[in-house]
Amino acid sequence: MSEFSSLTQLLRQSGGQVRFFDMGRRVQKLSAELFEKIENQQTPYPYPYLQHAWIALMLWNPKNKTQGVAWFLKLPLDEQGFLIQAVRDDLLNRLLQNAGAILQHEESGEMPEDALKDNPFSFKPDQEKMALFHAYSTLASAQPASQYYEHAQQYFAGQIGFDQWQSLGYQGIADLVVRHGKGKNSEILSKAIPLLPDAPFEVLCTCIESIEPDHTLFSALCLRAEQTLQRGTASSNHVAAITRGLSNGRNGDRKQQLMRQILESDYALEPEVIVAVATRCTESLQEPEILQRFLEKLAINKAGQAGFSRILSDLMFMPVMRALILMQFRNQQRSEALSKAIGEMFGGNFN
């Protein structure tokens, strides 16, 4: 077994099909080529969250797609965002000890359910991310969507009545969103968005953050966001959900203008909204003007200095964001409130 020097090698030897997903800030696909580079320390992990790589591995038997398992791994990263090699080696050794069956199933492609038993690097995703992972995994392995998919289609098509959202299953919404490019699903969702009550709309937004919505779907989302911000009567949770829904759309002028509106509003003082911007909208924050507005609101947000320091520590773990944030810290036009928050976080001698 010592011939295996990487997890990628071990998985290839198993004979099973494998897909990788990031499960940190949102659920998104990772290519096998990228994962191999990450594992071999050729590139830092692109989506760090709380200084870890949150990875899902989906493995299935190509001869029988119903035979499959999922492994969820939470792997610490070093200060530069690279996977710690000693952790990778420890994980590999544990898998080899617990999963001798991996090599025994080379022909069948089956994977042992208990390969991560008592493994300190495993984690259990929350219900929201698990539903999205399941939707992605069934799509990747060409399996049918869940039993809740058809009901979700009927609801968003208006066939049941938009006030009957209590009967919706989160899994059905996730299946529909992940399959938004199939059939008329995008059209169904786009037409429903202006008519949805707040509760199902918020759930829909938390699913849309894990796809790149097409133009029609994103336009409908932007219009509802614009109307909501103009009225100014929505709850902070509702605006946080909208922020998450917008976050993975293409970074055009309309999206960036919405980010400015959110950050100029009092909603940006609410912890739910500022966390949504920080954890989901890092592409938007790479625009200096938007980053500057974000930092100014973060400095006076209702979570106080603890919220400021915690959010920035996570953001600055990403090399690109760290460089941009440090540039803003040295901006002579920064407010007294931001200067004070920086001093509290780094000490009064920060320069």
User: Minimal CA–CA distance to 172: which of 200, 214, 197, 211?
Assistant: 200
- pLDDT tens per residue across span 241-279: 999 999 999 879 999 999 999 999 999 999 999 999 999
Q: Is the pLDDT of residue 351 over 90?
A: no
Residue 7's pLDDT is: 82
H or E stretch covering 256? helix 253-264
User: Minimal CA–CA distance to 115: which of 7, 4, 22?
Assistant: 7
Three-class SS state of 59:
strand
- CB-based contact 298:322 (threshold 8 Å): no
- pLDDT tens per residue across span 118-158: 778 889 999 999 999 999 999 988 899 999 999 999 999 99
Report the C-alpha gap between 223 and 62 in whole angstroms.
43
Strands 28-30 and 17-22: antiparallel
CB atoms within 10 A of CB 251: 14
Q: Is the pLDDT of residue 1 over 50?
A: no
Residue 65's pLDDT is: 62
On average, the pLDDT of the chain sits at 90
17-22, strands of its sheet edge to edge: 28-30, 17-22, 52-61, 64-76
Q: Is the pLDDT of residue 307 over 90?
A: yes
Per-residue burial over 337-346, b = 16 or more CB atoms within 10 Å of its CB, e = otherwise? ebeebbebbe
- CB-based contact 23:49 (threshold 8 Å): no
Q: How many CA atoms lie within 13 A of 93 on its CB side?
A: 7
Q: Is the pLDDT of residue 106 over 50?
A: no
Residue 112's pLDDT is: 52
CB atoms within 10 A of CB 127: 10
What are the residue ranges of helices labelled H in 162-214? 170-178, 185-192, 198-208
Structure tokens of 206? 């938390």
Output the CA angle 137-143-146, nearest 5 degrees: 80
